[in-house]
């Protein structure tokens, strides 16, 4: 899957932004910041913004194949960002980070009853797959609406 020709720089910007957000969140969590602050620094909100940006760019650059191009971009963006988050979950298990999102009680992979296979592989991969599917669905709905709205002529 390749991103649309015109969305390459936008994809790179999104991935860099996601990496910065992930790193900032880990730093804040380890420093003991309140959970409300930590939740601001999540990549999930990017799944609402970037599909719109992709759709606007695709609407300008392409006359045909717009939905397929949007799907490619949304899936790749979700996959790239969730792989980065997955690595943070693997590190959380290795270093036994205590942030609530990593807690086994909250569906995470850190806790006394979590074994190495689950902590390093099964739970991070499961979470990544769930998020990629969810982000793709959300992104296609939001991006699809944006494509439809951009297609309509403006009222005179």
In the chain, which ranges are continuous DSSP H helix? 8-31, 35-40, 46-61, 66-95, 116-117, 123-151
Q: What is the pLDDT of residues 6-27, one digit of tens each?
A: 789 999 999 999 999 999 999 9
- For residue 148, the SS3 value is helix
- Is the model's pTM score more than 0.75? yes
Q: 24-49 burial string, b = 16+ CB within 10 Å, else e?
A: ebbebbeeebeeeebeebebeebbee
Q: Is the pLDDT of residue 1 over 80?
A: no
62, two tokens: 């392409």
Q: What is the pLDDT of residues 81-112, one digit of tens each?
A: 999 999 999 999 999 999 999 999 998 999 99
């Amino acid at each position: 899957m390749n991103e649309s020709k015109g969305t390459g720089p936008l994809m790179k910007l999104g991935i860099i932004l996601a990496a910065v957000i992930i790193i900032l969140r880990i730093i804040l969590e380890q420093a003991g910041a309140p959970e409300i602050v930590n939740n601001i620094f999540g990549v999930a909100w990017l799944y609402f913004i970037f599909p719109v940006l992709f759709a606007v760019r695709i609407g300008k650059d392409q006359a045909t194949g717009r939905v397929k191009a949007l799907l490619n971009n949304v899936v790749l963006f979700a996959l790239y960002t969730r792989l980065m988050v997955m690595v943070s979950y693997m590190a959380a298990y290795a270093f036994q980070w205590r942030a609530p999102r990593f807690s086994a009680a909250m569906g995470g992979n850190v806790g006394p009853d979590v074994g190495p296979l689950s902590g390093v592989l099964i739970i991070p991969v499961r979470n990544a797959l769930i998020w990629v599917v969810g982000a793709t669905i959300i992104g296609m709905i939001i991006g699809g609406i944006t494509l439809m709205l951009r297609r309509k002529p403006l009222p005179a």
